[in-house]
Amino acid sequence: MSRSEMVRIERHLNRRKVADFLFAMVGLLCLLFALLTLLALMYDLARTGVPRLSLDFLASFPSRFADRSGILSAWVGTLCVMAVTAVAVIPVGVAAGVYLEEYAPKNALTAIIELNIINLAAIPSITFGLMALGLFVYEFGFGQSILTAGLTLGLLVLPIVIVTTREAIRAIPNTIREAAYAVGASKWQVVQHHIVPYSAGGILTGIIISLSRAIGETAPLITIGALTFIAFLPTPPVSGDAPYVSFQWLMDPFTVMPIQMFNWVSRPQPEFHVNAAATGVILLAMTLVMNGAAIYIRYRFRKRVKW
Amino acid sequence: MGIDQELKMTRPLSVQKTVSFTSAKHPARRLRRLREAVIESLLLLAAGSSVFVTLAIVFILVSESLPFFKHVPILEFLTGREWTPMFSDPKFGILPLVAGTFLTTGIALLLAIPMGTIAAVFLSEYMPARAREVVKPALELLAAVPTVVYGFFALLFVTPLLQKALPDLAGFNVLSAGLVIGVMIIPYVSSLSEDAMRAVPSHLREASYAVGATRFQTSFRVVIPAGFSGLTSAYVLGISRAVGETMVVAIAAGMQPNLTINPTEPAATITAFIVQVSLGDLPHGSIGYQSIYVAGLTLLSLTLAFNLIGFALRRKFREAY
Amino acid sequence: MVNTTQEAATAGGDEMRAEIRRLSFSYGDKTVVKSVSMPIYKDRITALIGPSGCGKTTLLRCFNRMHDLYNDTEYEGEIALLPENRNILSSDIDPIEVRMRISMVFQKPNPFPKSIFENVAYGLRVRGVKRRSFIEETVERALAQAGLWNEVKDRLGASALALSGGQQQRLCIARALATDPEIVLLDEPTSALDPISTAHIEELVVTLKQNVTIVIVTHNLHQAARISDYTGFMYLGELIEFGRTPGLFTKPKDARTESYITGRFG
């Protein structure tokens, strides 16, 4: 190899090294850009919204005067809707996940179900709202109620629960199943005594993630007709008179926090933007806490059980 | 003490032994079989519910849209350049909404695909595993922020910021909405891409390093081509999210249907139109009611089309390690 | 000892507990066990040896119908449980009932991530046994039989995963014994253990045969020679030779058996 050739190769190598380094910088910048945007968003929201937070804000109904408005009906509505969503999605999602991992034969039906779950993730959330408007509101006659809203969000986040349940179950080694079968357990006993308890951490993570997604979801609820201005609370579920327990609240009209926020941010007056920011702070805090909890639980369970 | 000693205290107890095998008709066995079958059917029903959701969406969108086409010829719907369904002289050309959707999506993708891919390469090929464990969940938080909060951010932070550079920028504009959607979908693109890249077996990387390639060359000449089908999935999911994104555009892009390719103007997307109409009082069966279903059906078809293209691309570039 | 009244159907004084009759087993179109016939003697240890992939584990798993858990499997021939002479592979028989009478210990210790107590009690729980005192007695008896009682009696509520590998395997043996099975299947039970734990388990297995019939699969020829009464040598899915252990190891009749036990292959 001639001397000039070696110099050439070395120069080329240096150029490649520089390219490598430059790319690393670009990559770092991309990550930083994304994370800094997140920080900017949180900072901007907090700067505008946090000073507005007070007990009054939580305990007041919305009003046409920005400084007298609050999110009482919105957070109560969010809680009620989330309760319905959780009750709807947890059993169905976990059962579906268990079926697909433990029972499903390898046939066309299973393949269709699996493909369908993947594709549901790509369907725009607003079309869930349109479906719910046609089906739940008019066809089933549930009206523009908490029940409709909860079911709609439940269907929307169902794939998340199914997919995380399946992942959690898949982590259980087959030897555990065989150990249970070998002493005479039936399939359902294996599921009930082993599969579900051992995947509980992963399932819980999925449930929290799905509810955190549902809590911030706005578009489908607007479609089914959530009210943007609501100055009363749903019927209390318990009362002093017989029969003491009432499910009337399921049929009540509602608003939720993201819709309240949307309503305020859409108004021209900056005072209402402050209210929107304050609502956003609470909403964001809730989703971040839920996501943090999910990450923590996943981490804990991964540490605890080493198969 | 030894095993023999232990055994002394351990005469076999009489567990109620199965004396002989039961026949298939034995009541206990029938009961058990029945119970297992009932449980299995219930679980199957739960799994099938996801298919029910899809069928319900398609069925409702189609059936509620059909009456619309009795009033409006399909050709006029597809080629009309004005969309004013709530006016006294309504016009039903979907093009302005489709244009608005493509414009926001396009801007979002121009931001999200390069940044998401580069971030994914960086996470997968450059970053130590420990740092990745922290950074990846942090990045995924971007996907956890409620979209209405992103709308607030686009309208009241990004737009004023952009107006400093572009003084002509309207208060409601497509640019800011598109950019914010882009940031929002970065984690969808980067997370799935990173999974795809890490699934590329390390012997391929080692082969590349062994002939003297740098990380940069290995990433772009070996890892990305090998993981291309996974990258396609990531992009398609990102596109689906951007096309279907509603709140950011409803808040920050204005809601006027506007057939334009100028991102500094306000415009409406398909989703924003649905929101706008839904906010008003909407009698069941009115033309306004039908029009949101037609819009929804268009949206679903667009999403489906992108997914089919993705599916075809994936088939073509399926990795064979 | 439990009823040794019948001395019929014996070979050299040993009574048959089960008999494999022309058993073949296949996954899909791949036949892994080919027309194997052999006896299993009551309260004796029968070892199955052979090079890896010879079908010994597959044969063992036929005994408690573990293959039923997976698709595309097919049994042909029978395994008759004696003295009632019922073919446990018959589709009329519920695999769950088979597993209630024939339990199994696996290659790698696989305790449930539950307490020590619950691991051993599990076989009773799935049978619907509720009586606390009975469960407690049985757990103690099974742990004692498995030589683990003294080590764990003060921490029955602790997680089974906290035990050492050897202890975990003895726990799995206790779990298999708690239901008072007629046959216990051991699938290379010491392959994942250190020599000391291995010795402990071998000693234990020999003691157990006072009460229970044992079939053990092992890749360790010395282990088979040390602990078993009968040995079957399998090769490419077939049973090449079966006989009393000392005879098979000292005077193998088949050249392949001889090659294998002298270490020429495997």
The whole-number pLDDT of residue A305 equals: 63
User: With an 8 Å Cβ cutoff, are A186 and C125 in contact?
Assistant: no
Q: Looking at the structure, do residues B213 and B132 belong to the same domain, yes or no?
A: yes
Residue in A with minimal Cα distance to C100 = A184
Residue A246 pLDDT grade (very low, low, confident, very high; cuts 50, 70, 90)? confident
User: With an 8 Å Cβ cutoff, are C141 and B13 in contact?
Assistant: yes
The whole-number pLDDT of residue C6 equals: 36
Using the predicted structure, report yes or no on whether residue A97 has a pLDDT greater than 50.
yes
Residue in B with minimal Cα distance to C202 = B3
Q: Looking at the structure, do residues A122 and A262 belong to the same domain, yes or no?
A: yes
Q: Looking at the structure, do residues B34 and B101 belong to the same domain, yes or no?
A: no
Q: Looking at the structure, do residues B140 and B247 belong to the same domain, yes or no?
A: yes
Q: Could you give the CA distance from residue C230 to residue C215 in angstroms, rounded to a whole number? A: 9
Q: Looking at the structure, do residues B50 and B153 belong to the same domain, yes or no?
A: no
Q: Contact at 8 Å (CB) between B218 and B184?
A: no
The whole-number pLDDT of residue C216 equals: 95
Residue B51 corresponds to which tokens in the numbers above? Answer: 């298919």
Q: Could you give the CA distance from residue A104 to residue C68 in angstroms, rounded to a whole number? A: 15
Using the predicted structure, report yes or no on whether residue B10 has a pLDDT greater than 70.
no
- Helix or strand (DSSP H, E) at B67: none
User: With an 8 Å Cβ cutoff, are B139 and A35 in contact?
Assistant: yes
Residue A234 pLDDT grade (very low, low, confident, very high; cuts 50, 70, 90)? confident
Q: Looking at the structure, do residues A160 and A176 belong to the same domain, yes or no?
A: yes
Q: Looking at the structure, do residues A91 and A105 belong to the same domain, yes or no?
A: yes
Q: Looking at the structure, do residues B59 and B105 belong to the same domain, yes or no?
A: no
The whole-number pLDDT of residue A20 equals: 87
Which chains share 3+ C-beta pairs under 8 angstroms with B? A, C
The whole-number pLDDT of residue B54 equals: 93
Distance spanning both ends of chain C, measured CA to CA? 38
Q: How many domains does chain B have?
A: 2
Give the CB-side neighbour count of residue A111, counting CA atoms within 13 A: 3
C contacts of B18 (beta carbons < 8 Å): 97, 100-101
pLDDT digits (tens, 9 = 90+) for B196-209: 999 998 898 999 98
C contacts of B16 (beta carbons < 8 Å): 127, 129
ipTM summary value = 0.90
User: With an 8 Å Cβ cutoff, are C144 and B32 in contact?
Assistant: no
Q: Looking at the structure, do residues A79 and A60 belong to the same domain, yes or no?
A: yes
pLDDT digits (tens, 9 = 90+) for C141-168: 999 988 899 999 999 999 999 999 999 9
Q: Looking at the structure, do residues B168 and B137 belong to the same domain, yes or no?
A: yes
B contacts of A10 (beta carbons < 8 Å): none
Q: Looking at the structure, do residues A78 and A18 belong to the same domain, yes or no?
A: no
The whole-number pLDDT of residue A11 equals: 83
Using the predicted structure, report yes or no on whether residue B5 has a pLDDT greater than 80.
no
For residue A114, give the CATH number of its domain: 1.10.3720.10
Nearest beta carbon to residue A179 from set C96, C106, C179: C106
Q: CA torsion B271→B272→B276→B277, rounded to 10°?
A: -30
| More confident: A64 or C107 | C107
Q: Looking at the structure, do residues A17 and A136 belong to the same domain, yes or no?
A: no
Q: Looking at the structure, do residues A42 and A111 belong to the same domain, yes or no?
A: no
For residue B124, give the CATH number of its domain: 1.10.3720.10
* B285 CB-contact burial (10 Å; exposed 0-12 / middle 13-18 / buried 19+): exposed
Nearest beta carbon to residue B296 from set A48, A130, A283: A130
Using the predicted structure, report yes or no on whether residue C8 has a pLDDT greater than 50.
no
Q: Looking at the structure, do residues A46 and A64 belong to the same domain, yes or no?
A: no
Boundary of a domain, candidates B41, B65, B89: B65
Using the predicted structure, report yes or no on whether residue B4 has a pLDDT greater than 50.
no
The whole-number pLDDT of residue A10 equals: 83
Q: Where are the alpha helices (DSSP H) in B80-128?
A: 95-121
Using the predicted structure, report yes or no on whether residue C2 has a pLDDT greater than 60.
no
Using the predicted structure, report yes or no on whether residue B2 has a pLDDT greater than 80.
no
Whether chain C has a CB inside 8 Å of the CB on A192: the answer is: no
Q: Taking residues C163-192, what's their average pLDDT?
A: 92
Residue C180 corresponds to which tokens in the numbers above? Answer: 């008072």
Residue B29 pLDDT grade (very low, low, confident, very high; cuts 50, 70, 90)? confident
Using CB atoms and an 8 Å cut-off, which of residues 36-95 of chain A contact chain B?
A: 37-38, 40-41, 44-45, 48, 91-93, 95
Using the predicted structure, report yes or no on whether residue A130 has a pLDDT greater than 90.
yes
C contacts of A194 (beta carbons < 8 Å): 112
Q: Looking at the structure, do residues A257 and A139 belong to the same domain, yes or no?
A: yes
Q: Looking at the structure, do residues B141 and B243 belong to the same domain, yes or no?
A: yes
Q: Could you give the CA distance from residue A273 to residue C191 in angstroms, rounded to a whole number? A: 69
Q: Taking residues A248-273, what's their average pLDDT?
A: 89
Q: Looking at the structure, do residues B58 and B100 belong to the same domain, yes or no?
A: no
Pairing of strands C45-49, C213-217: parallel
Q: Taking residues B89-103, what's their average pLDDT?
A: 89
* Beta-bridge partner residues of A277: none
Q: Could you give the CA distance from residue C37 to residue C34 in angstroms, rounded to a whole number? A: 9
Q: Contact at 8 Å (CB) between C239 and C233?
A: yes
Residue in B with minimal Cα distance to A39 = B142
Q: Looking at the structure, do residues B99 and B152 belong to the same domain, yes or no?
A: yes
Q: How many domains does chain A have?
A: 2
The whole-number pLDDT of residue B228 equals: 87
Boundary of a domain, candidates B19, B38, B65: B65
B27 CB neighbour count, 10 Å cutoff: 8
Q: Looking at the structure, do residues A37 and A90 belong to the same domain, yes or no?
A: no
A contacts of C96 (beta carbons < 8 Å): 184-186
Q: Taking residues B88-103, what's their average pLDDT?
A: 88
Residue A31 lies in domain:
3-50
Q: Looking at the structure, do residues B58 and B81 belong to the same domain, yes or no?
A: no
Residue B12 lies in domain:
3-65
Q: Looking at the structure, do residues B96 and B61 belong to the same domain, yes or no?
A: no
Boundary of a domain, candidates B65, B95, B116: B65
The whole-number pLDDT of residue C9 equals: 41
User: With an 8 Å Cβ cutoff, are A180 and C122 in contact?
Assistant: yes
Whether chain C has a CB inside 8 Å of the CB on B27: the answer is: no
Q: Looking at the structure, do residues A96 and A214 belong to the same domain, yes or no?
A: yes
Whether chain C has a CB inside 8 Å of the CB on A198: the answer is: yes
Q: Contact at 8 Å (CB) between A137 and A224?
A: yes
Q: Looking at the structure, do residues A237 and A91 belong to the same domain, yes or no?
A: yes
| More confident: B320 or C96 | C96
The whole-number pLDDT of residue B319 equals: 58
Using CB atoms and an 8 Å cut-off, which of residues 155-194 of chain C contact chain A?
A: 161, 172, 175-176, 178-179
User: With an 8 Å Cβ cutoff, are A173 and C161 in contact?
Assistant: no
A contacts of C104 (beta carbons < 8 Å): 178, 182
Q: Taking residues B274-296, what's their average pLDDT?
A: 87
| SS3 assignment, position C81 | strand
Average pLDDT value over all residues in chain C: 88
Pairing of strands C230-235, C238-244: antiparallel
pLDDT digits (tens, 9 = 90+) for C10-38: 456 788 999 999 999 998 889 999 999 99
Whether chain C has a CB inside 8 Å of the CB on B30: the answer is: no
pLDDT digits (tens, 9 = 90+) for B35-67: 999 999 999 999 999 999 999 999 999 999 999
The whole-number pLDDT of residue B261 equals: 82
Q: Looking at the structure, do residues B46 and B80 belong to the same domain, yes or no?
A: no
A55 CB neighbour count, 10 Å cutoff: 8
